[in-house]
């Protein structure tokens, strides 16, 4: 198992009385307002703090993922899972390794903790360059961050490459599977084989719950236990936890239907973009990255679309994604509106 920072090893997790005594008739331990909250919603006791363990939510997640609740940590979005992992294992003078292009919050979280970021480029077709990643590692490297599918391009990563990193790197290998449900491939089962793997996911994408800010990590129990030492005691609100739990328990069929619709629409959108003369990069997430011909600037295209109240994401500042725009797959009506506006731009710039 990767070693937590010495300060974390010496740290005891925050324990409140409610952690010790969850069931009672009278709660006079947390300085809550016993006379009620300013607003009443459903059956939630909003004047009481939420379950700091997220017991029901973690059990639902564990059942969905085929693991134990002790292997799960819940976060205020997967961003908090990232920050908790960094806070646990990387500190002042340490470093993390990221592969580019990828999600910027890995580096942001490291710098907040006083660690530095070492960037390694992906190989052709956005494959992992394992020798280059390992070459970037030194004695102060605490975490290697990967996303699968890749957050920059949407390309998946090979399991064998991750296995090699897990075997040859002593620190934590963090695999971000934010788009897992769209590709159907996961490395989560490897948590039972390797003591240095953490897989994170979110309910913001396929589950359609971006407004809740709920994510989770799956890892060996010692890694979860170490991360719990830095977890805020009430990091997920009562309503958010209830809705997320209900979604996992009762909404899986609807989620999977939405995923199928998204992928069908993605296929249509990809074909249309290619017909307009864009280079559509291969990917398995719920977005399309496409490169514009040299006569057009992706930044200018983004700006013109925005003038028509259509917002897309310019990715040209990222390595390997020069002159590229990321198109999230929307509804057919949304995609048609974007395509019509984009076709007009292309015709005007022929």
Side-by-side strand order, sheet with 215-218 = 72-75, 215-218, 197-202, 172-176, 141-147, 95-100, 116-121
6-250 CATH pick, 3.30.70.1890, 3.40.50.1970, 3.40.718.10, 3.40.640.10: 3.40.640.10
**Do the domains spanning 6-250 and 254-348 agree at the CATH topology level?**
no
Instruction: Choose among 178, 185, 180, 187: nearest CA to 214.
Output: 178
Q: Which positions ≥6 away from 201 have C-beta within 8 Å? A: 78, 177, 178, 180, 215, 216, 217, 218
- Running along the chain, 350 residues long, what does each successive block of 10 average in pLDDT? 88 82 80 80 84 96 97 98 98 97 96 97 92 97 97 94 98 98 96 98 97 97 97 94 97 97 97 97 96 95 96 95 97 97 90
Residue 243's SS3 state is helix
The secondary structure of 145-187 as a DSSP string is EEESS-TTT-----HHHHHHHHHH--SEEEEE-TTHHHH----
What pLDDT score does 21 carry? 81
Per-residue pLDDT, 172: 98
Tell me the CATH number for domain 254-348: 3.90.1150.10
- pLDDT value at residue 28: 75
Cβ atoms within 10 Å, residue 74: 24
Q: What per-residue confidence (pLDDT) applies to 43?
A: 75
Each domain of the chain, given as residue ranges in start order, spans 6-250, 254-348
Q: What is the dihedral of CA 75, 80, 86, 92, to 10 degrees?
A: -140
Q: How high is the pLDDT of residue 20? A: 80
pTM score of the predicted model:
0.94
How many Cβ atoms are within 10 Å of 297's Cβ, its own excluded?
15
Q: Is 133 left (phi over 0), alpha (psi -120 to 50) or beta?
A: alpha
């Amino acid at each position: 198992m990767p070693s937590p920072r010495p300060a974390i090893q010496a740290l005891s997790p925050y324990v409140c009385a409610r952690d010790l005594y969850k069931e009672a008739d009278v709660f006079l331990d947390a300085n809550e307002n016993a006379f009620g909250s300013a607003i009443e919603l459903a059956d939630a006791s909003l004047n009481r703090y939420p379950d700091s363990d997220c017991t029901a939510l973690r059990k639902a997640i564990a059942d969905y993922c085929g693991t134990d609740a002790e292997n799960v940590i819940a976060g205020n979005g997967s961003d908090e899972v990232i920050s908790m992992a960094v806070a646990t294992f990387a500190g002042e003078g340490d470093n993390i390794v990221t592969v580019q292009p990828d999600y910027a919050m890995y580096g942001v979280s490291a710098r907040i903790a006083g660690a530095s970021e070492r960037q390694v480029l992906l190989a052709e077709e956005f494959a992992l360059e394992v020798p280059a990643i390992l070459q970037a590692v030194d004695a102060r490297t605490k975490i290697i961050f990967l996303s699968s599918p890749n957050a920059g391009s949407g390309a998946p990563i090979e399991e064998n490459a991750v296995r090699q990193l897990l075997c040859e790197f002593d620190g934590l290998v963090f695999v971000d599977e934010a788009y897992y449900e769209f590709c159907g491939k996961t490395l989560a089962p490897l948590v039972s084989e390797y003591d240095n793997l953490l897989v994170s996911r979110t309910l913001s994408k396929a589950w359609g719950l971006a407004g809740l800010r709920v994510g989770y990590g799956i890892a060996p129990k010692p890694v979860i236990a170490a991360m719990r030492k830095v977890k805020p005691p009430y990091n997920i609100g009562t309503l958010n936890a209830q809705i997320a739990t209900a979604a996992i328990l009762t909404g899986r069929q609807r989620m999977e239907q939405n995923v199928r619709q998204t992928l069908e629409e993605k296929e249509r959108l990809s074909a249309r973009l290619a017909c307009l003369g864009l280079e559509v990069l291969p990917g398995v997430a719920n977005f399309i990255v496409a490169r514009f011909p040299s006569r057009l600037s992706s930044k200018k295209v983004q700006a013109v679309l925005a003038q028509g109240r259509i917002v897309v994401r310019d990715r040209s500042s990222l390595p390997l994604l020069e002159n590229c725009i990321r198109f999230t797959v929307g509804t057919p009506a949304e995609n048609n509106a974007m395509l019509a506006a984009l076709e007009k731009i292309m015709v005007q710039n022929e």
